[in-house]
Every structure is written in C-alpha cells, then in structure tokens.
Chain A
Amino acid sequence: MPSMAGSDRARRGNETASTPERVLRFGRVPRLVHRTTGWLMALCLGTAACLYFGPLAELVGRRLLVVSVHEISGILLPLPVLLGLLSPEFRAELTRLNRFAKYDGEWLRLALRRRPGRPAGKFNAGQKLYASWIAGAVPVMLFTGLLMWFGGLLPWIPRSSAIFVHDWLALAIAAVVVGHIRMAYRDPLARQGMRTGYVRKDWAREEHPHWIDPD
C-alpha cells in the first residue's frame, strides 16, 4: 500500500519539523536545586560586588543590609544541594558528574583545540569539572566567610589570611560562574533542558551521544 506508507512518512516528516522528538533530561529535583542555587549564587555575588567595588558601593551604600544579605545567601548556598541528596534521582546525577569515562578525556583534548563534535555522556567533561570545582570552592568560601563573620571562631587563623583566601577565591568564582552563564547563553537548547526538563532528541544525540545511545 504505497499511499499509506507515503502518508505515514509525510506525517512523520511533519512531526519532526513542527514538534521535534523530546527526551527527559532533568527531573523536578535537579532543576529545583539548580534554580535555587543559581538565585542564591546571584545574590551572593551581587552583594559581594556592592561591598567590593567602589563605584557600586557608593551607589548602593546601606552596608549593614548588604552585608546581611551576603551572609544569609552565603550560608544558604549549599542547602539546596544538601537537600537534593535526599532524592535518588539527584544522587544519580552527582554520580554521573563524579565519574570520568575515557571519552571525557577525549572531550577535554578536543575542547582545548576548539574542535567540534566532542563525545560526551549526560554531562560533558567541562560540565563535570565546573560542577566539582564549584562544589569544592563553595565550602572554602563558607569557611573563610564564617571566620570573617565570627572573628574569634578559630583564633589561630589570622583574620587577614581568611580574608585573603575569601577575596581571591571570590574573584575566581565570579569568573567561572560568568563562564558558566556564557556557555548557557550560547546554547538555548541546553537551557531549555534545565528550564523545562526536556530536550530535543537530535540535540541530545549531537551533544551527549553516550547518554542518549549508551555503548
């Protein structure tokens, strides 16, 4: 029945053009953790900029309020991830971020040479490195921040040393987070995955082949 096969093909072709096939990438918990962490990080970095850069400080003033928002958002920053640990789905994502497969090394080599078509699992090697770097940096910021906040907490650590690490690491975090946002800005389809939970299958096949077609 050639007519039916033809219409079938036509319908399928139509479908791919209007509503491409989608696949679930992130469930509710990882998206919620990402969103709340993102907002807390924005508050933390925004207030830090107002405390740190002269022109912004002159514009905003209100030092006590800005310091309080900075302290509270900083304290809360690890909380979404810690609560996320209660969810098996979120823990599975962390496992994926933790483990580096052979193709991750290949991905990094190609990324350094700016070559396209890099193989990746659900997360590419860059995302894995970003996630683990920031996961290590935030506790250091929290620790040095608490030392600045409560001066006499550990008297054998000079306050100036805590400030030194806090200031420089803050600068590094700002640079890395800006890089993270830039990557997201350049890939609307990836952003869609974090916003709605679903991504286009053809995008996933292109960017994350080892996730969509394991082995």
Chain B
Amino acid sequence: MRENEGKPIGRRVVLSMLGLGAAGIAAAPVLQGGWQKLLDADPVGVTGLLPNSGGFRYFSVTASVPVKNETNYRLTVDGLVARPRTFTLADLAALPQHRVVHDVQCTDGWKVENAAFTGVPLSALLDAVGVQQEGRAIRFTCFDGLYTESLTLEQARRPDVLAALKLQDQPLSHERGGPVRLYVAPMYFYKSAKWLSGITVTDRVQPGYWEDYGYAVDGWL
C-alpha cells in the first residue's frame, strides 16, 4: 500500500476537533455548571490549577507593584471637594465598616461566588471631605503607578461600593490589591481597582485604564 492511499483519518480527526469545539461552545453553560459542582465537592483542592477553579486570579498591568502597609500606605481624597484629606490605614479602619457579599465576576471568565469584602463605603469618604456642587464623577488612581478607574458620583454613592480593607474577614493581601482596593460589587471586577491610592472628584467621567482599550466605562454585570 502506498503512503498516499488509505483512509483519510487525518481529515476526520481535524473535522472532529472542529465539531467538538462547536459542541463545547454549545454545551459550555451545562458543563460549567457541572464543573462548579465538582469543585464544590473537591475537598483536597487539586483542581486549583484548572480553569475556573473558583479562586481569584492575579492581574497586573505593570511589571511590579510596591508593597504598602500601615506605615507607608496613604489614600488621598481631593479634586472638587471642600476639605481635601489624606487617610492612613488606621484612619480608614477607624471609620464605620460595611460588609458586602456578592459574586465577583471577571471579564476573562472567572468567577468567585459569595466574596465578602469589608471596608469604608465610598459615600462615607466623600461625605467626610464634602463634594462641591460641580462634582459629577470620580477618578481613582493606584499606587502601581499606572492603573486608573472611574465612576459617576451617583454610582460611587451606592451602598455596595467600598474602599475595601478586608476580604473574607481577613486583611486584604498585596496579591488581592491590599492594603486597600476599590470594590464595586455590581460591576465587572476590572472596575474594582487594586492598590487604591487616590480618589479625585472631577466634573466629568475620565475613562480608566482598560476603558481606554475598549472596555465599557459602565461595567454593569
């Protein structure tokens, strides 16, 4: 038998893979649900390296991020406010804390169910500095030196929007955006800027980092 004769198994394998891909897309919602159940039943945690294993994933837009703690962390609130102010970690911890439990959903497909963030409601911080009449929006900056985010004043005043200090009742780790990150529960997780260092009240929305690359400015879930 010559080498260019025989059954075209190669072509069939190629076509089967294409078909399997299409079937995978169609069945994804069901399969994802089953996978989630399996994860919940996995007590050893061997599934941690597999897709959508239920944990947070680490995203950073810079090469490295300085580590800040109670000695050198500062949160500046300024812009169109009556009394610009800088908060230390102790200042923030002394303010009334609010706990928000919500599903975290990333645009890259991963999801963390019932994540509990605790921190100072943004509205409390805004009230503490007094927003001026012209204030319409907020620009958030981060101590990674690059990432920015935005919210309208109305969105920022929602009770489920926090300057979060804790995750699952533990101090927020550096990898999760600690010591303080923004948490915007009703929106995709890119709105919840990590390593929050600046809150500036502005007269209009200035799109944030990913929003300059095509992400929706209002990232409602």
Contact = CB atoms under 8 A, between A and B. Distances in A.
Interface string B2-22: 111111111111111110110
B63 to A, nearest CB: 5
Given A61-B60, A164-B32, A140 B8 contact: no
A58 interface: yes
Interface stretch (B49-57, B89-97, B135-143, B154-162): B49-57
B29 A99 contact: no
Given A61-B60, A140-B18, A167 B9 contact: no
Given A61-B63, A158-B29, A99 B17 contact: no
A122 B3 CA distance: 8
Given A135-B10, A136-B13, A137-B21, 4 more contacts: A54-B58, A101-B3, A144-B21, A158-B28
Contact of B3 (A139, A164, A210): A210
A188 B113 CA distance: 49
Interface in A148-191: 148, 157-165, 167-169, 171
Q: How big is chain A's contact interface, by range? A: 35 or more
Contacts of B29: 158, 160-161
For A52, A103, A160, A171, the residue with the greatest tally of chain B CB atoms inside 10 Å of its CB is A160
| 4 pairs of A and B residues whose beta carbons are closest in the complex | A136-B17, A163-B109, A140-B21, A167-B51
Nearest to B109: A163
Contacts of B112: none
Interface string B36-62: 000000000000011110000111111
For A101, A104, A148, the residue with the greatest tally of chain B CB atoms inside 10 Å of its CB is A101
A27 to B, nearest CB: 16
9 contacts: A54-B58, A54-B175, A61-B63, A62-B62, A101-B5, A161-B28, A162-B25, A164-B31, A165-B25
A12 interface: no
B2 A143 contact: no
A171 B50 contact: yes
Interface of B: 1-18, 20-21, 24-26, 28-29, 31-32, 49-52, 57-65, 107-109, 175, 213
B25 A161 contact: yes
Nearest to B22: A140
Interface in A91-136: 92, 94-104, 121-122, 128-129, 131-133, 135-136
B21 A143 contact: yes
A94 B65 CA distance: 49
B24 A100 contact: no
For B1, B10, B58, B109, the residue with the greatest tally of chain A CB atoms inside 10 Å of its CB is B10
Given A132-B13, A161-B28, A169-B21, A214 B58 contact: no
Given A133-B13, A171-B51, A102 B1 contact: yes
A165 B24 contact: yes
Contacts of B8: 98-100
B4 A99 contact: yes
A124 to B, nearest CB: 12
A57 B5 contact: no
